[in-house]
């Protein structure tokens, strides 16, 4: 039965209860207005007769000594007995009439009391029916409002999804147009321009994806400042997969000479428009073109997880070769030991090859010849997003400690740092 049908049934029940309540109330009003039983018309005369008979008897009289005495005694007692008998009869009649009146009053009282009890018994069902009807009406109104609100939200959700899709499409198209314009502005010969424009257009979608999900340039630059400090005095530094060139800009501001390589033609073109020394090409091939011990640092952020294992091993080997003694290799990647990092960061990018466990990357770096290999965790999850400790009040000390220890373990697993950086020395 629907909420509307329930409401109609409750309304019918309320009407029935109120009708019964009205009938009882009318009966009660009639009984309350009924006059008390009238005294019997015989009460007055009976009272007067009883009062007269209750008076003192007249004095007896007689003759002769004994007979006169007996007669006198009889004459004296007989009237008194007669008067007593009459008084008793009158009193019995009076009591009988009083009992009749009392019985009538009691019958009327019982009828009034019975009706009053029925009235009181009907009050609660009527109140209950009214309360249930009010509750059902409020619930029905709330359900109708929520139903309308849900429909509105669904409509808004569809519109929002459509707007989001349109926004993503516009970002992709805008990046594609910007990439093609950048190639045309370079002024290369027509065949070269055509080929470069195609490559730039193909890479524009991923550039738009990075722009949307990785964050704006200012945010990324701020996060990379700490890395730049590690390369002071290690010029030149190679930025592998430099993307939009944020790290190269930070190095340039600190007067650390750097060069970059990017396989995405659109991103590489954007870096060159910023005046950065960036070439388009393969990362491993780029390192192979460098002379042995010619670099002071090799940097790659969010690149290693894009590489198949053989390519990653080749990159590590070439990085060791081109670095001079004391040179630094720094690779930043997603932390797969964090469930949040794995689900929300790694899985979002379709170009990711496979997650790299910190132990695995450390082993591969050591196998390539690097020393002083270590890992630093980055991008901590905000405390408000983590599981909160359980209040210990009222709990046994040992139980509270065990419970919160388990909370910390879950936090480390579910909400560990989203990224980590591998640092290795040549």
Per-residue confidence at 297, pLDDT binned at 50, 70, 90? very high
pLDDT higher than threshold 60 for residue 262: yes
Conformational region of residue 72, where left means phi above 0, alpha means psi within -120 to 50, and beta covers everything else: alpha
Whether 180 is covered by a domain: the verdict is no
Alpha carbon distance, N-terminus to C-terminus of the chain: 77
Please tell me the predicted confidence (pLDDT) of residue 423. Answer: 97
E strand or H helix that includes residue 86 = helix 66-185
> CA dist 179 to 4, 172, 243, 386, Å?
60, 10, 14, 41
Of residues 325 and 392, which shows the higher confidence score?
A: 325
Of the listed ranges 21-35, 44-58, 282-296, the one predicted with least confidence: 44-58
C-beta of residue 339 within 8 angstroms of C-beta of residue 413: yes
Q: How far apart are the C-alpha atoms of 127 and 147, rounded to whole Å?
A: 29
pLDDT higher than threshold 70 for residue 90: yes
Q: What is the mean pLDDT of residues 177-198?
A: 57
**One domain, residues 221 and 314:** yes
Q: Across 174-247, where does the E strand assignment appear?
A: 237-240
- Count of structural domains, the chain: 2
pLDDT higher than threshold 70 for residue 74: no
Domain that holds residue 286: 214-425
Residue 68 structure tokens: 């006169």
Per-residue confidence at 214, pLDDT binned at 50, 70, 90? low
Please tell me the predicted confidence (pLDDT) of residue 36. Answer: 60
CA 5 to chain centre: 30
Q: How far apart are the C-alpha atoms of 169 and 128, rounded to whole Å?
A: 59
Q: For residue 261, what is the domain's CATH number?
A: 3.40.50.150
Helix (H, G, I), strand (E, B) or coil at 402: helix
**One domain, residues 144 and 256:** no
Strand order in the sheet with 237-240: 278-280, 258-262, 237-240, 295-301, 323-334, 419-425, 371-378
Q: How far apart are the C-alpha atoms of 406 and 386, rounded to whole Å?
A: 13
Residue 309 structure tokens: 């294992």
Per-residue confidence at 352, pLDDT binned at 50, 70, 90? confident
Of the listed ranges 94-108, 144-158, 184-198, 271-285, the one predicted with least confidence: 184-198
Q: How far apart are the C-alpha atoms of 14 and 20, rounded to whole Å?
A: 10
Identify the domain boundary among 131, 152, 173. Answer: 152
Whether 158 is covered by a domain: the verdict is no
Please tell me the predicted confidence (pLDDT) of residue 59. Answer: 47
Residue 17 phi, psi dihedral angles, 5° rounding: -65, -40
Please tell me the predicted confidence (pLDDT) of residue 398. Answer: 84
**One domain, residues 327 and 399:** yes
Of residues 205 and 238, which shows the higher confidence score?
A: 238
Whether 59 is covered by a domain: the verdict is yes
Per-residue confidence at 225, pLDDT binned at 50, 70, 90? very high
Of 111, 88, 119, 100, whose CA–CA distance to 26 is shortest?
A: 119
**Tens digits of per-residue pLDDT, 105-120?**
777 777 777 777 776 6
Whether 200 is covered by a domain: the verdict is no
pLDDT higher than threshold 60 for residue 218: yes
Whether 168 is covered by a domain: the verdict is no
Looking up tokens 């429909």, which residue turns up?
A: 151
Please tell me the predicted confidence (pLDDT) of residue 183. Answer: 54
Share of the chain above pLDDT 70, in %: 70
| Residues, the chain | 426
C-beta of residue 238 within 8 angstroms of C-beta of residue 260: yes
Identify the domain boundary among 152, 178, 196. Answer: 152
pLDDT higher than threshold 60 for residue 399: yes
Q: How far apart are the C-alpha atoms of 198 and 282, rounded to whole Å?
A: 18
Whether 46 is covered by a domain: the verdict is yes
């Amino acid at each position: 039965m629907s909420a509307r049908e329930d409401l109609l049934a409750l309304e019918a029940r309320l009407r029935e209860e109120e009708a019964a309540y009205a009938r009882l109330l009318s009966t009660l009003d009639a009984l309350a207005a009924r006059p008390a039983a009238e005294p019997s018309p015989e009460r007055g005369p009976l009272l007067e007769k009883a009062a007269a008979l209750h008076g003192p008897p007249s004095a007896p009289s007689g003759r002769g000594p004994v007979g006169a005495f007996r007669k006198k005694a009889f004459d004296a007692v007989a009237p008194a007995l007669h008067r007593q008998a009459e008084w008793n009869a009158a009193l019995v009649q009076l009591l009988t009439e009083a009992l009749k009146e009392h019985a009538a009053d009691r019958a009327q009282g019982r009828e009034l009391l019975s009706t009053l009890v029925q009235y009181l018994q009907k009050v609660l069902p009527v109140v209950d029916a009214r309360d249930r009807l009010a509750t059902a009406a409020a619930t029905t109104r709330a359900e109708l409002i929520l139903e309308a609100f849900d429909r509105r939200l669904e409509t808004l959700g569809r519109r929002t999804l459509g707007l989001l899709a349109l926004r993503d499409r516009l970002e992709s198209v805008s990046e594609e147009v910007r990439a093609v314009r950048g190639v045309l502005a370079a002024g290369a010969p027509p065949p070269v321009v055509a080929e470069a424009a195609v490559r730039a257009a193909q890479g524009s979608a991923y550039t738009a994806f990075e722009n949307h999900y990785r964050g704006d340039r200012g945010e990324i630059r701020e996060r990379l400042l700490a890395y730049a400090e590690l390369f002071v005095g290690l010029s030149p530094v190679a930025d592998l997969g430099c993307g939009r060139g944020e790290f190269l800009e930070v190095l340039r501001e600190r007067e650390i000479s750097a060069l970059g390589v990017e396989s995405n033609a659109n991103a590489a073109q954007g870096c060159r428009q910023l005046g950065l020394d960036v070439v388009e090409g393969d990362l491993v091939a780029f390192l192979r073109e460098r002379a042995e011990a010619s670099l002071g640092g090799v940097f790659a952020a969010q690149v290693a997880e894009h590489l198949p294992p053989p390519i990653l091993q080749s990159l590590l080997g070439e990085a060791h070769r081109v670095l001079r003694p004391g040179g630094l290799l720094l690779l930043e990647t997603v932390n797969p030991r964090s469930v949040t990092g794995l689900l929300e960061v790694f899985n979002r990018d379709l170009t990711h090859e496979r997650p790299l466990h910190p132990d695995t990357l450390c082993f591969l770096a050591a196998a390539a010849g690097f020393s002083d290999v270590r890992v630093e965790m980055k991008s901590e999850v905000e405390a408000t997003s983590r599981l909160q400790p359980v209040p210990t009040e009222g709990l046994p000390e040992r139980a509270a400690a065990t419970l919160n220890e388990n909370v910390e373990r879950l936090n480390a697993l579910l909400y560990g740092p989203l990224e980590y950086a591998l640092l290795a020395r040549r």
